Structure 1
Amino acid sequence: MTLHSEVSVNHASGAFAVIPVLDLKDGVVVHARAGKQAHAGKRAEYRPIATPFGPPHDAAAIARAMLGITFSSALYIADLDAILGRGNNFELCRELGYIFPSIDLWIDAGFSDVSDCAFWLPLGATLVIGSETIASLDAWENIRGNFASNLVLSLDFDEQGLRGPEEVMADPSLWPDRLILMSLGRVGTETGPDLARLHETLARAGNRAVYVGGGVAGLDDIAKVAQAGARGVLAATALHSGAISQKEIAALVGKRRSQI
């Protein structure tokens, strides 16, 4: 059995996963890279990515490289145009689905109600519902009632706290089986994940799978998230910069597998 298949089986069995993230805007791969101006999380300011994995117009090449490094059976795609309400990258996402038929696409497209979700259903993808774009508690309950098995709820936080209906955070009975704890202000910063909020969320999540997004800088951060009891992390910046290597991910995931 190859290393790739060993880790893939591990992911499929529900163990820890490192899920690569593609941000799409205007048909190309873009990236948040925070610097002195602290633009992280401001999606309109994302620029075409500079990465050793391929040119920004070749989303498939970049995705292939990231999937190879992480051994992931899922690929998170954030359609920034859809999130910003100025079109979408549906056809590009469809193409990626054809190229990677065995990969579970997690699509974040600014879903606010059932009609938004229904538009993307032909892709057969997992729908990531960000709390920041949920129109209301009623809208969320309607989405959850119609698409529960295909959903991941992203609890989106900024410096002021949760973005979205407070009732969704207050009542764990409203949560689906999979959650993302997303620190929007840490995206692209490599300042580390919000471990305090992670511990609080895990304590309330029961048996739900919790994934962490925003601020992951390297192997130490991933190890801390895994040790806390989360199911995985979303990674982009640390992969493009080379801060996390294929060997490190394989070793970490393999170690977690041996402890199951």
Structure 2
Amino acid sequence: MQLVPVIDLLRGQVVRGIQGRRESYRPIVSALCGTAEPLAVARVLCEHCASDTLYVADLDSLQGAPAQTVLLGRLLKAMPRLTLWLDAGFADAEAAARLLAALDPAAAVRVLPVFASESLRSPAALATCFNDPALLSLDRRDGQRLDPAGCWERLTLWPERVIVMTLERVGADSGPDLDTLRAVAASARPCTRLIGAGGIRSEADLSEAEAAGADAWLVASALHDLRLSPRRGG
């Protein structure tokens, strides 16, 4: 099971995500890192997970403010092997292209946009998102799909990697939503790689998630709370 560490960025700091309620996020208090400074947190999380991939949620951009492109550029420059999976609330492919164009071209090639079903504005926007490498996030909260573009139902438009995001499980110590993951796995094409998000509390949860069909899982709180063992690099 691949672990993909997550940082939520808000006004230049790493904050702790809880149930997708972004108005309540506060700077991270971490037993693993001891700081909320983004580069320090990114280094420690990636080392702990033996990961060259980092999921970044730019909460400034997600809430309508300018994207934190200077900070993203610093991360990419300081960690030259790093690939970013970036969720910045992209409404369409053009929005992602504009953000990538604001980064140094040599670094921008290491950024994969995450097109989230809660953010995509329409079915027409969805249809143009995956001409270039990117990920889709299927978002839901409290049993409801967050999906103005109809992403959940348009399986033929899905890219190779699809995130299954249950927002009320994020940072809530309530376990992963394996029922939803299994349902998506049952309908997805065989080539689809599923990445779970939200709820991981322990190594046992990871084992159950893998058995349910997850190829990887996005993790944050369980790392900061020292619930997951360090991984060894390949």
- When normalised by structure 2's length, the TM-score is 0.91
Q: Name the counterpart of 2:153.
A: 170
Q: Name the counterpart of 1:213.
A: 197
2:8 is equivalent to residue 23 of structure 1: yes
| Contiguous gaps of at least 5 residues in structure 2 | none
Deviation at 1:203, TM superposition (A): 1.3
SS in structure 1 at match of 2:152: helix
Matched residue type, 2:142: E
Q: Choose from 214, 218, 221 the match for 1:234.
A: 218
Matched residue type, 2:121: A
Q: Name the counterpart of 1:157.
A: 140
Matched residue type, 1:207: C
Deviation at 1:128, TM superposition (A): 0.6
User: What is the aligned-residue RMSD (CA, Å)?
Assistant: 1.6
2:109 is equivalent to residue 130 of structure 1: no
Q: Name the counterpart of 1:3.
A: none
**Whole-angstrom CA distance in 2 between matches of 1:186 and 1:100:** 30
2:7–2:42: 8 Å Cα contact kept in structure 1? Answer: yes
Matched residue type, 1:29: V
Q: Name the counterpart of 1:141.
A: 127
Q: Choose from 93, 98, 105 the match for 1:114.
A: 93
**Whole-angstrom CA distance in 1 between matches of 2:216 and 2:4:** 7
Q: Choose from 183, 186, 197 the match for 1:203.
A: 186
- 1:184-211 CA distances to partner (integer Å, 9 max, x unpaired)? 1111112111111111111122211100
Deviation at 1:219, TM superposition (A): 0.7
Deviation at 1:114, TM superposition (A): 2.4
Q: Choose from 53, 72, 75 the match for 2:54.
A: 75
After TM superposition, the structure 1 stretch with the greater mean CA deviation from structure 2, 77-86 or 201-210, is 201-210
Matched residue type, 1:67: C
**Whole-angstrom CA distance in 2 between matches of 1:226 and 1:114:** 31
- 1:42-80 CA distances to partner (integer Å, 9 max, x unpaired)? 112101111131321x21111111111111120000000
Deviation at 1:166, TM superposition (A): 6.1
| Contiguous gaps of at least 5 residues in structure 1 | 1-15, 34-39, 255-260
**Whole-angstrom CA distance in 2 between matches of 1:160 and 1:203:** 18
How many residue pairs match? The answer is: 225
